[in-house]
């Protein structure tokens, strides 16, 4: 899971970097900011999907 998280982070950086190099010039600054925010939300969803099952298996899940 750790390697998958690191891989997702590097793939996101590569994807955003390529976006900014090749496609960002066709859009306004606000559209590019929106793209980065949406892509970061997708990364957050992927990371949650990876780590949530592990967290739910922990013995202190839901106990306080």
Report pLDDT for 57.
87
Q: Is residue 61 part of a domain?
A: no
Q: Is residue 64 part of a domain?
A: no
pLDDT tens string 5-48: 999 999 999 999 999 999 999 999 999 999 999 999 999 999 99
Q: Which domain holds residue 14?
A: 2-56
d(CA 38, CA 62): 30
Report pLDDT for 64.
67
d(CA 19, CA 34): 12
The token duo for 40 is: 């970061």
Report pLDDT for 63.
72
Q: Is residue 16 part of a domain?
A: yes
Q: Quick check: 16 and 39 in contact, CB under 8 A?
A: yes
Q: Quick check: 13 and 48 in contact, CB under 8 A?
A: no
Report pLDDT for 11.
97
Q: Is residue 28 part of a domain?
A: yes
Q: Quick check: 12 and 40 in contact, CB under 8 A?
A: yes
């Amino acid at each position: 899971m750790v390697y998958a998280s690191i891989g997702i982070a590097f793939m996101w950086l590569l994807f955003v970097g390529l976006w900014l190099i090749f496609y960002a010039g066709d859009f306004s600054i606000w559209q590019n900011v929106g793209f980065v925010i949406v892509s970061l939300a997708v990364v957050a969803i992927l990371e949650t999907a990876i780590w949530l099952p592990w967290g739910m298996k922990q013995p202190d899940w839901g106990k306080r």
